[in-house]
Every structure is written in structure tokens, then in C-alpha cells.
Structure 1
Amino acid sequence: MTDTAVIDIRPVTEDDLPAWTRTWGNGYLRPYTESSVETVRSTTARDRLIGAFDMDRCVGTYRSSAQELTVPGGAFLPASAISKVSVAGTHRRRGLLSKMVAMDLRGAFERGEPVAVLDAAQYPLYGRYGFGPATAMAWFEIDVHRARMDPLRTADTSSVLLVDAREYLKAAPGVYERVRAGQPGALRRDEPWWQEATGHRTGSADRRSEPFFALHFDPASGEADGLLCFNAEETWGAMLPQSPLWIRDLIAVSPRAEAALLRYAVTVDWVTTVHLPYRSPDTLLPLWLGDPRAARVSALSDYMWLRILDTPRALSARTYGIEATLVLEVADTAGYATGTWLLEGARDGASCTRTTRTPDLRIDVRDLSTLYLGDDSATRLSVLGGTEELRPGALARADAMFRTGRRPWSPRAVLGAHYQAGAP
């Protein structure tokens, strides 16, 4: 067994890419091909790749990207987005993940990225590094026959138009940007992302079933204000249609556009079941159906995890539900977020500065990260032990400040064949 001390944790070079890609593919059960190296090269050109190397063998992978996170109030906060994390089964329990995380978080802090985010494939891993679950996701299966989509309920689908990938690519990014500007938890989608989503980048699309694209147009302005990408599979049983439809992406600027796009999907000929993944648990989408019980929750899970690195910058970037002050004593074993901080929050802005005042709450960085986007309450987290009320009424005040009227949501599009509930 190789001594952990001699395993090299370092940035990946051009020569390392084939070995790094193979190890990542093994970890995610994806076959290695020559083209997969080119795909990784093209999609990670501006990213930070870290590898763990046992002599000339790659045994761990890690990627982070410069991102923007929408926070309550609409500000775009720089973030380090982590993905493609794996450790070879032969080298687990040796601290390799801890070393890669430590290297990347240090780099993010030095680059001025006040938070880091990731989609946690395994719940137990990231809390030890100060991450907390900050958004949740629900997956729905819609029984079309029970949805009661009679003509009176689907008149608004006349504003939905099926388009080809090229037309979709022209309009969809603008629609998403309008939504991202006001959706806490949303991340930026850059041009390579859209190229992959529409199959324009060679070797990146799921070729087994080409998607359909649709846009919703505002009847008043004629401007696209909603997008829908879906796959459907023709299936019959005993001369009866039993076709499933999988929604890859559904983004809408207005409730009207959202309702029309869902109703369109539910009324596609021959479709009996609509699969709708990666929605906020408080989504209104089921309520646009004639019978909301037709939308059954097939899975409910935490989704995006967040890690605060720069406490004053992160807390001062968002707005708060009430005008109030709160003194937080933040504990962070890595040291980044540690300190006693005076948070002065309001509906139109906030400030956060270091203070010598007596704290109102003692809170671990994981709990503070979970609270940050407004999806949880300090009162609830205090029961679990990571948050302690030091001044009576502080928990209730923190709840009123941090919670938002609607739950944060990090819109996810299905770019491959990952429709099953809980797919990472």
C-alpha cells in the first residue's frame, strides 16, 4: 500500500488529462473513450482541475468552476462550483478528498469567491468541510389521464410553439437570464452549457433520444418568456398508447408561461406519464393541472449544498425579511468564516462587520450556510445542535430575517439520460 504522504495532490496538467478523465469516468460509471478526453478538455478549459496521483496513476479527481449564485434580493455573488469529485476505490479512507477540498477552498478564498457550492451525490461527505444543504428538490410523475386537461384548461397552450434547436438556442438563454435575476439559488448558464443542452457540441448530447424544444411567447409583446425541452418515447401496449415524456428543462418568466408549458407537455398525443424532475418542493406546477393529485412526488431530496468562506461579504450581499440586527458567533474549523459578526439586515440591503459585542447566536458554519438562501430556519437547526441561542428571541429574529417567501431553487436541466429520481 502506498504511503498517503507520497500521493501527490496537485493541479492537473495537459498530460494528465487522459488519466484524470479515465479515473473520473470510472467513479461515475462512464466508459472511457478517446472522445471523452476531448469533451473534458473543451468543457474544462477555464476550470480548476485537481488530481490525486499515486506515482503515474490518477486515483482522485476534483473540478471547480467560477460561477455566479443568485441570492435573496437578486444580487449575483461569485461562487466556486465544485463537480467531478471522485476517489478510486483502491485509495479511499486515506484523506485524499479532504486534501483536494482543502486545496480548492483555499484557492477559492484567495480568489475572492465568498461561497462554494456543489450538488452532493452522497449526504454524509460534505458537512465535515463546512457545507450545508441550502436547497431541496422534488421529482414528480404526472398521470396524464388523471390530470383532467380539458380544452378549457389548455387554451393558453396556443402561445407555445415547437421550434428546432437553432431557434431554441437563440431565445432560451435570454429567458433563463430573466429568471436567474430573481431566483435565489440559481447559477449562471454559459454558452458551452447551452451548446451541450441543445446537442450542438459534438459528443455531448444523449443521442439515444433527441429532445424536442418549445418556447412560450408572451401574447402582448411577442417575446419568448418560457422554455421547454423534453424527450418522449413512443410506447404501445395492447393497441393502447403508453408513452412516457421526460421534461429536461422547464423555465418560465411568468406564472402564465409556466402553466402553459406544463399543460402543453401533459397534452402531447400518446403520452400517459410525464416525468418532471429537479423542481423546488414548493413549486406551483401541480396546481396548474385540473387535478393536482395527478402529480405524485416520486422523490424528495436535498440538492445544492453551500459553504460560506467570507462571512461579511456573503451576508451583506443578500437582503433580509425584516429590518433587524443580529450578532453571530460563527465557528469554522477551517478558519475561513470564523468570528463574531454584526449583521444589520433589511429588505433593501445589509451590512456585516466584525464586532466585539456579545453574540445573540452561536452557529456553526454548516448551519449558517444552510440558512443562507432562506430554505431552513434557525429554530429548527438549533434542535440538531449546530446553532445555540445565547440571547432570548434571537432564534425567532434569525428566522424572520433569513427565511424567504418562496423556497430557493437551483434550476437543473437534464443533459443526459438521468431521469430517474435522485440521479446526481
Structure 2
Amino acid sequence: MSLDVRTITEDDLPNWIRARRTGYVQSPAVSKAELAYRRGLMDFARAQGAFDEGRCVATYRSFTQRISVPGGASVTANAVSNVSVSPTHRRRGLLSRMIDRDLREAAERGDAAATLISAEYPIYGRFGFGPAARVVEWEVDVARTGVDPRHAGPGDGGRVDYVDVAALREHGPALYERVRAVRHGLVDRTETWWRRNTGALPIDDTPWTEPFAVVYRSAEGTVDGLLVFTADDRWEAKLPHQTATVLDLVAVSPAAERALWLFLLSIDWITRVRTGYRAPDDLLPDLLPDPRAARVLTHADFLWLRPLDVPELLRSRTYPVAGSLVLDVTDPAGPAGGRFLLEAGPDGASCVRTGRPADLSLPAAALGSLYLGDESAVRLTALGQAAEERPGAAGRADALLRTGRRPWCADIF
């Protein structure tokens, strides 16, 4: 059977959306609101579809993204999204054809990496992606925390204030960029992101329900954190049993983060808090007098990273200690293969191709897992996913690459 895999046009968009919804096991109906939203979102030159006798049966798109890396800089990534294959057309190489073309074009543009949020774990390793940042979601039993609402306010001269969504659009972008400068793994948020997440840009026909929003202002009056959450309205036997669900919580300082969590946990009638996806080393559990009040609901891989330009990636971040390392990276299907000399330190790094003997050999996917500092080269070596060519090389790689805080990606894309 002949399947046409090609770049889509604007005329293809309703058919493409229907295929994406079918692949995601969602109602295939395409609303006018969703059509308008995706038309404004799409870079049609980077959107692909597979067509069988005119019907779209697989979807794929990518867009330019900036991801924060250790040290405060950002690199340009080719963000992959909306990947789907209809159940009737699996195992026919459709994803391979689309992703191979996209990654080749990304490398030609000079993108340092490709990124994605993997819906299913086994798919993307064979394309050179490795899990680079993980997330944890907690459910907090408020009564068990030991938090005293009378003493939950900021003790540093700061204050917490409710704001409306217009204020979020005003204060949020600049605050978020400040957070990205001190926390690696965060992807940029476009104007479209802020409009969509504050109700100004409908995604579909679902009515917009405004969430609660608060900001933390420091003693100097600067907005150093924001919290967005919803709450259900559940009572039993004349007693409140309301659950607050965090949609967004970002803070530029530990003081702001602490103040926002303790504020949420001190609200009358809230008996449980669901945190949304946080970094595995989030401060929350240990901010509580009883950390066991926070029960883990999810602990999973989240952001996946695929190196494209290894020298650009490695010289864009900083390193906690000074040292050098020769990496032999294998990448049969892509541009990341080669032997690279990394000379690095707290003030920056250089990385060039080299003919020197390798210290550590690894596939591109393993380098993707190591890059943001979350994974251990010693652990990957034990798993057979990397190999020491010189004794102690994996430990030296960990000393260079691992970070004091774990990376965190706050957004699905």
C-alpha cells in the first residue's frame, strides 16, 4: 500500500487535526475553536502528515524552542510534538520517515538538540533521544502536614496577594525568564502560551474557568513567585473536603517558593493539595513539619533530549569543577556522532572534535540523558549504556556533568 508522507498545507489542517485526535484516542470531531487555535500555532513548513488515499493517518510537527541549561544560558532546540499514528497504520515506518526528515532539517538549521515529552517510553530511544529530566507529583494531606495556618505567612517582609489573569499576563513572562536563568531544564513560554493559559486564546469549545492566581512580592516589592491553582467544591456531612490542584508554581527564590506553598496549605476548607508535576528534588515535602503528609502519585521520565550539535551543547553550559573528558559518541542515524574533547570549568567550556583516545564511549541517547546533569555516567555504565575506555572515566564525567539541583521541565508541549 502506497502511503504519501509529506509536509501539510493549511487546507490539510482539519484532516490532520482529526488524525491527531484519533491517534490520541480522543473524539475525532474538530471544533472551529481548535481549528482556529492550531492554524495560528502551526509552522506548516515543519508539520508533516501521512496520507492514505487522501485520509490523514499520522501526524507530526516541530517548532523552535529555547531550553535553559546549567549556568543560566539557553540553547536552541527542535521541539517535537503532536506525534500520532492511527491504529490502522502502525508498524509501517511512518514515524521513522517523519522524524528522520525533521531531525535532518533541524541539524541543517544549526539546532543544538531536539526535545520532546514522550507519551510512551520505548519509542524514542531508537531515534537518539534519552530521558533528561524527570517529574514527581505529590498529593498532600493538609491536616497531617503539621502546618499551622496562623504562622504560614511570609516571615521575611514579603507578602502574598491574589491577582487576576490579566496581572498574570503582565508579571508572568518576566518572572518566568528570571526563573529560567537560575533553573535548568525549563523551556521558554511564548506569548501564545501565556494567552492560552490565561483564557485569552481558546483551544477548543470547552468553557474557560478562571483559576485562582496569587503572586509573592518580596519586601522590596518585586514579584518573585506566582501560583495558579483550582479547587473543587466537595463537602461531606457538612464538612469541607476540597482538593486544590496546582496548575503552575514558579519562584525565583526559596523564600518565594516556601511562602507560596505554605499559603496554599493554609487556606480554609482545602484538605488535599495535588502539586502537579514538580522536580524530583522539589523543596515541598521537606518544607512540611511532617514530610510524610506528601504522598507520591507519579514519579516518571518527562523531558527527553536528543543531541544534534554536540560541541554547541557542551560548551553552552557550565560545570561545577574544572576538568577534561574525551567522549566517543555513536549516532548512526544522525549528526551527533564523533569523538569530542570537552575542557570545562565553572566559568564555561570548550568542545571540539578530536583524534585523542576516548575516555568514555556512549550513544547519543545516553549523552542526552547526561547533558542536563540528572543522570549518572557511573549508573549508565553499570547498565551497559556507556563504556569506560579509561578507568575512572565515568566518575570523572559525573564530577563534570552532574548538577546540585536536578533539571525540571514545567510544561507539556
Match of 2:275 in 1: 276
CA contact (8 A) 1:70 1:187 kept: yes
Partner Cα distance (2:43, 2:80) in 1: 15
Q: Report deviation, 1:209.
A: 4.2
Match of 1:236 in 2: 235
Identity %: 47
Q: Does 1:144 align with 2:142?
A: yes
Q: Does 1:384 align with 2:367?
A: no
CA contact (8 A) 1:131 1:369 kept: yes
CA contact (8 A) 1:134 1:375 kept: yes
Give, as a single letter, the amino acid of the residue that structure 2 aligns with 1:24: R
Give, as a single letter, the amino acid of the residue that structure 1 aligns with 2:300: S
Match of 2:116 in 1: 118
What SS class does the counterpart of residue 279 from structure 1 fall into? coil
RMSD: 1.6
Partner Cα distance (2:202, 2:363) in 1: 45
Partner Cα distance (2:199, 2:289) in 1: 34
Match of 1:311 in 2: 310
After superposition, give the CA deviation of every residue in 1:311-330 in whole Å (9 maximum; x if it has no partner): 11111111112211111111
CA contact (8 A) 2:115 2:303 kept: yes
Q: Report deviation, 1:30.
A: 3.2
Q: Report deviation, 1:8.
A: 1.6
Match of 2:160 in 1: 160
Q: Does 1:215 align with 2:207?
A: no
Q: Report deviation, 1:167.
A: 1.4
Worse-superposed segment, 120-129 or 208-217: 208-217
Q: Does 1:56 align with 2:54?
A: yes
Q: Report deviation, 1:308.
A: 0.1
In structure 1, the gaps of 5 or more residues are 414-423
CA contact (8 A) 2:135 2:277 kept: yes
TM-score norm. by structure 2 comes to 0.96
Q: Report deviation, 1:384.
A: 1.7
Give, as a single letter, the amino acid of the residue that structure 2 aligns with 1:295: A
After superposition, give the CA deviation of every residue in 1:260-306 in whole Å (9 maximum; x if it has no partner): 11111112221111000210111111222232211111110011000
Partner Cα distance (2:84, 2:309) in 1: 26
Give, as a single letter, the amino acid of the residue that structure 2 aligns with 1:16: D
CA contact (8 A) 2:139 2:273 kept: yes
Q: Report deviation, 1:204.
A: 5.1
After superposition, give the CA deviation of every residue in 1:326-353 in whole Å (9 maximum; x if it has no partner): 1111101213111111111111111111
What SS class does the counterpart of residue 50 from structure 2 fall into? strand
Match of 2:395 in 1: 396
CA contact (8 A) 2:341 2:354 kept: yes
Matching residue within 92, 106, 118 for 2:90: 92
CA contact (8 A) 1:46 1:65 kept: no
Match of 1:107 in 2: 105
After superposition, give the CA deviation of every residue in 1:225-278 in whole Å (9 maximum; x if it has no partner): 101110001100111101111000000111111111111111222111100021
Give, as a single letter, the amino acid of the residue that structure 2 aligns with 1:91: H
Match of 2:195 in 1: 195
TM-score norm. by structure 1 comes to 0.93
What SS class does the counterpart of residue 315 from structure 2 fall into? helix
After superposition, give the CA deviation of every residue in 1:375-415 in whole Å (9 maximum; x if it has no partner): 011110012212110111111100100000111111237xx
What SS class does the counterpart of residue 395 from structure 2 fall into? helix
CA contact (8 A) 1:196 1:204 kept: no
Give, as a single letter, the amino acid of the residue that structure 1 aligns with 2:162: L
CA contact (8 A) 1:147 1:292 kept: yes
Q: Report deviation, 1:29.
A: 3.2
After superposition, give the CA deviation of every residue in 1:355-389 in whole Å (9 maximum; x if it has no partner): 11111111111111100000011110012212110
Q: Does 1:259 align with 2:258?
A: yes
In structure 2, the CA distance between the partners of 1:264 and 1:46, relative to structure 1 (3 Å rule), is farther
Q: Does 1:323 align with 2:322?
A: yes
Q: Does 1:9 align with 2:5?
A: yes
Q: Give the number of equivalent residue pairs.
A: 409
CA contact (8 A) 1:209 1:231 kept: no
Partner Cα distance (1:399, 1:209) in 2: 46
Partner Cα distance (2:369, 2:173) in 1: 29
Partner Cα distance (2:45, 2:267) in 1: 40
What SS class does the counterpart of residue 228 from structure 1 fall into? strand
After superposition, give the CA deviation of every residue in 1:107-138 in whole Å (9 maximum; x if it has no partner): 11111101000000100000000000000000
What SS class does the counterpart of residue 245 from structure 1 fall into? strand
Give, as a single letter, the amino acid of the residue that structure 2 aligns with 1:359: A
